């Protein structure tokens, strides 16, 4: 895990090696590796959390991911602690490792309900597919204040003839003739039942017959009596989607979490050349040329440390 992370960043460091004037990490290898491994373990945990999203959040129609790569540059991490503390131990920076991790990564998990409406044209004689039907009559239980009155189209409803579509989201237009179970119905009425997944409400002349209908799935056809026109069919479906977004703000010292932390910590940034007793750490592609580091007696040449980290 560590070597994989280092190999990608060592390429970057090698590519700009001439600009690295010289630096070292005064901390022990053990503390450096412990710090790096702790960070990598947090990243592995985050990766697992995202990979297990569908088992920890079951039951969605769709899962949508926009996930940045989970990785960091170990040199940026270790250099940050070195710049801040000089010689540091893992115990000393343990809590801060988690703070930086939380600044580097933002995970958002959102539930989104999308109403998807699709319109297609169906020719006369063709199937509308399987539709869900319910039953109603003209009583006050079924029709409330409209009980006993005419349908939405103005005509009075008749059994084996009148069907209704949802008023807000009509499956087919008013007046469409539909054949189901060998009976030709006409859309003459409207109701509010699309939210129950019902396409047609079938009219009966008694409440007991309407109740007996329950919910039935029938195949529906556009009747020949519609003439030669095509009929526009509108289907509405609610998609329940889990949206997972992971943003990696990166440990780039110029713009990322570490840079902000360094600024907050009052660490000086310099763009000059080396001076006696002071070593500058130059960051690969970073526009900020150098981090001023006051090196202690334990300093070793940077290339030694690079080798040991790469090995
Ligand atoms: Zn009724």
In angstroms, what is the span from residue 144 Cα to ligand 1's centroid? 9
In angstroms, what is the span from residue 297 Cα to ligand 1's centroid? 93
* pTM greater than 0.75 (yes/no): no
Mean pLDDT of the chain: 75
Q: For residues 224 and 123, is the Cβ–Cβ distance under 8 A?
A: no
pLDDT digits (tens, 9 = 90+) for 30-76: 998 999 999 999 999 999 999 999 999 999 999 999 999 999 888 87
Judged by phi (left if over 0) then psi (alpha if -120 to 50, else beta), residue 182 lies in: left
Q: Which CATH architecture has domain 125-227?
A: Beta Barrel (2.40)
Residue 165 has pLDDT above 90, yes or no: yes
In angstroms, what is the span from residue 211 Cα to ligand 1's centroid? 7
In angstroms, what is the span from residue 203 Cα to ligand 1's centroid? 9
Residue with tokens 């989104």: 112
- Give the per-residue pLDDT at 181: 93
Q: Extract the tokens encoding 201.
A: 């409400």
In angstroms, what is the span from residue 145 Cα to ligand 1's centroid? 12
pLDDT level of residue 117 (50, 70, 90 thresholds): confident
In angstroms, what is the span from residue 219 Cα to ligand 1's centroid? 24
CA dist 84 and 81 (Å) reads 5
In angstroms, what is the span from residue 215 Cα to ligand 1's centroid? 15
- Give the per-residue pLDDT at 14: 35
In angstroms, what is the span from residue 199 Cα to ligand 1's centroid? 18
Residue of 4 and 58 predicted with greater confidence: 58
In angstroms, what is the span from residue 141 Cα to ligand 1's centroid? 5
SS (H, E, C) the chain: CHHHHHHHHHHHHHHCHHHCCCCCCCCCHHHHHHHHHHHHHHHHHHHHHHHCHHHHCCCCCEEEEEECCCCCCHHHHHHHHHHHHCCCCHHHHHHHHHHHHHHHEEEEEEEEEEEEEEEEEEECCCEEEEEEEEEECCCHHHHHHHCCCCCCCCCCCCCCCEEEEECCCCCCCCCCEEEECCEEEEEEEEECCHHHCCCEEEECCCHHHHHHHCCEEEEEEECHHHCCCEEEEEEEEEEEEEEEEEEECCCCCCCCHHHHHHHHCCCCEECCCCECCEEEEECCCCCCCEEEEECCCCCCCHHHHHHHHHC
pLDDT level of residue 237 (50, 70, 90 thresholds): confident
What is the average pLDDT across 115-140?
A: 89
In angstroms, what is the span from residue 168 Cα to ligand 1's centroid? 22
Residue 264 has pLDDT above 80, yes or no: no
In angstroms, what is the span from residue 186 Cα to ligand 1's centroid? 19
Q: For residues 253 and 291, is the Cβ–Cβ distance under 8 A?
A: yes
Domain ranges in the chain? 2-112+249-310, 125-227
Q: Are β-strands 200-203 and 290-294 bridged in parallel, bridged antiparallel, or unpaired?
A: unpaired
Lowest mean pLDDT among 19-28, 102-111, 202-211: 19-28
pLDDT digits (tens, 9 = 90+) for 194-207: 888 899 999 999 99
Neighbours of 185 (CB within 10 A): 22
Q: For residues 167 and 190, is the Cβ–Cβ distance under 8 A?
A: yes
- Give the per-residue pLDDT at 283: 37
CA dist 136 and 192 (Å) reads 12
In angstroms, what is the span from residue 222 Cα to ligand 1's centroid? 27
In angstroms, what is the span from residue 142 Cα to ligand 1's centroid? 4
What is the average pLDDT across 127-154?
A: 93
In angstroms, what is the span from residue 45 Cα to ligand 1's centroid? 58
- Give the per-residue pLDDT at 226: 85
Residue of 224 and 287 predicted with greater confidence: 224
Q: Extract the tokens encoding 287.
A: 């526009």
As a whole-number percent, the residues of the chain with pLDDT over 70 amount to 73
């Amino acid at each position: 895990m560590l070597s994989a992370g280092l190999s990608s960043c060592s390429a970057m460091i090698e590519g700009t090696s001439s600009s690295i004037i010289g630096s070292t990490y005064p901390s022990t290898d053990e503390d450096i590796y412990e710090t790096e491994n702790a960070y990598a373990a947090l990243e592995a945990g985050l990766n697992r959390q995202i990979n297990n999203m569908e088992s920890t959040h079951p039951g969605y129609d769709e899962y949508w991911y926009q996930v940045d790569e989970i990785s960091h540059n170990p040199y940026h991490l270790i250099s940050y602690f070195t710049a801040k503390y000089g010689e540091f131990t893992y115990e000393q920076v343990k809590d801060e490792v988690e703070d930086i991790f939380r600044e580097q990564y933002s995970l958002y998990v959102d539930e989104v309900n999308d109403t998807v409406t699709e319109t297609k044209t169906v020719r006369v004689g063709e199937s509308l597919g399987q539709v869900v039907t319910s039953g109603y009559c003209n009583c006050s239980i079924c029709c409330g204040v409209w009980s006993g009155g005419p349908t939405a189209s103005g005509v009075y409803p008749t059994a084996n003839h009148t069907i209704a579509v949802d008023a807000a989201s009509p499956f087919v237009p008013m007046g469409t003739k539909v054949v189901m179970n060998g009976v030709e119905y006409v859309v003459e009425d409207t109701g509010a039942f699309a939210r129950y997944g019902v396409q047609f409400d079938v009219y009966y002349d008694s409440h007991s017959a309407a109740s007996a209908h329950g919910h039935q799935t029938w195949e529906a056809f556009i009747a020949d009596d519609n003439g030669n026109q095509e009929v526009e069919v509108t289907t509405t479906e609610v998609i329940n989607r889990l949206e997972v977004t992971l943003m990696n703000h990166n440990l780039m010292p110029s713009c990322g979490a570490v840079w902000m932390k360094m600024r907050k910590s009052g660490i000086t940034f310099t763009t000059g050349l080396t001076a006696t007793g002071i070593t500058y750490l130059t960051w690969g592609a970073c526009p900020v040329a150098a981090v001023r580091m006051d090196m202690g007696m334990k300093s070793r040449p940077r290339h030694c440390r690079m080798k040991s980290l790469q090995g």
